[in-house]
Amino acid sequence: MIEETAKVVSVIDDKIVVEAAVKSTCSSCNAQDNCGSGTIARAFSSKVQRLTLSSPVPVKVGDTVSIGIHEQSVLIASWLLYLLPILVFFIALLSLSSFWANTVHELMLFALACVPTFICFRYVAGKCKQLDKGRFQPVIIRRWVS
């Protein structure tokens, strides 16, 4: 389970809104003072992510909670959103080039292969949003006592 600490900013019935700071790996690196990536990470480090979750435990505004998501869910979502459209792109490009290899310019084949890739990406993104309500939704693991 991938865990993150978040702060409760709103409570509405059994739903809560939590806010977690977006962290980069640069913050734990020893070479961040001498690195361009570390400088950029510090410039954009004040970002926060807000999530709305169901709360199985009673919490109040200002509480700190641990939220988590299963690694398998992250891997499946990554595979669906990244690898599947790339596979569709290559299959479409190979199929189109085998049919129209000498008659159509390669740039046109590339553009035509982008169409099913875009359709695949939109379909997968929509499916992930439907599944987001269950499988891909982070859960509250524990409430930290302040």
**Pick from 7-11, 54-58, 89-93: least confident:** 54-58
Going along the chain, which residue ranges are E strands? 2-12, 15-21, 48-54, 64-69, 139-144
pTM for the structure as a whole: 0.62
The two structure tokens encoding residue 130: 């439907």
If DSSP codes are grouped into helix, strand and coil, which group holds residue 50? strand
Residue range 84-139, pLDDT digits in tens:
999 999 999 999 999 887 888 889 999 999 999 999 999 988 887 776 666 667 88
Residue-level pLDDT at 108: 92
Identify the domain containing residue 17 by its residue range: 2-144
Cβ-based neighbours of 88, under 8 Å, separated by 6 or more: 116, 117, 120
pLDDT in tens, 40-50: 666 665 677 88
Q: How many domains are there within the chain?
A: 1
